[in-house]
Amino acid sequence: MSAPLQGKVALVTGGSRGIGRATALALGQAGAAVAVGYTTGAGPAEEVCAAIREAGSTALPLAADLADAAAAAGLVGRTVAELGGIDIVVNNAGITRDGLAVRMSDEDWAAVLAVDLTAAFLICRSALRPMLRSRAGRIINVASVSGVTGNPGQANYAAAKAGLIGLTKALAREVAGRQITVNAVAPGFIATEMTEALPERARQAAVAAIPAGRLGTAAEVAAAILFLAGPDAGYVNGHVLHVDGGLAA
């Protein structure tokens, strides 16, 4: 079995379900030791870690409330302390608080920006310090098609994901000289717990708008992240890889 990430240490936020779960499994199956970040419910995170261990890699669940700046930044230090370093960061965790902008509360705006953008920045900043010293690293930020095209009722989420894309491009320019790459993936409508919560009419409308005619899978997004985390993507930097069935084409 190929293990292109053997000896690498990865941190995946929001790693207990959906895209994060599929990503943590893919990185572990590729040989990386994986810190599986989660906010609530230790059970699903433990299940992901158990599956990674069964594949022959090391895995560690790490609980952190990403709305808490200190907790978000501290995830990197805990990963380094427990797993001996950090080579790959996948900022996947995100929340939604949807609503029309004219009715959106300050709290719903701030909550989404805190988790979806600020926490990602804090984790990037913390991870870049050891990566700069070792002159190597991979950061992959999970953005969204909403951050590229916008989406009615998601002013907070779209702004956060657009900001994440801007953060990705800025950091890529800052650290490329140290052999660190910073890229993003922009998933479209993916079959996860988040999209399963949509009303059936909204779900059908979403599928109708996708040129591919179907929802994507978490495994398809994880495959894109695995590529960006691996040795073959060393000259890919500051890029936003769309995994959206042609939705933003």
Strand partners, 180: 137
Q: Write down the catalytic residue from 124, 157, 226, 243.
A: 157
Region label for 58, one of left (φ > 0), alpha (ψ between -120 and 50) or beta (otherwise): beta
Radius of gyration of the chain from its Cα atoms, rounded to whole angstroms: 17
Are residues 209 and 38 in contact, defined by beta-carbon separation less than 8 angstroms? no
Spatial contact of 56 and 6, defined as CB atoms under 8 Å apart: no
Contacts of 143 (CB under 8 A, 6+ apart): 161, 162, 164, 165, 168, 184, 185, 186, 187, 240
Within 13 Å and on the Cβ side, how many CA atoms surround 68?
8
In this structure, what token pair is assigned to residue 107?
A: 């709290």
Are the C-beta atoms of 38 and 14 separated by less than 8 Å?
yes
Indicate if 38 belongs to the active site. no
Q: Which residues of 111-133 are buried (b: 16+ CB within 10 A; e: fewer)?
A: bbbbbbbbbbbbbbebbbebbbe
- Give the residue numbers annotated as catalytic, written as ranges: 157
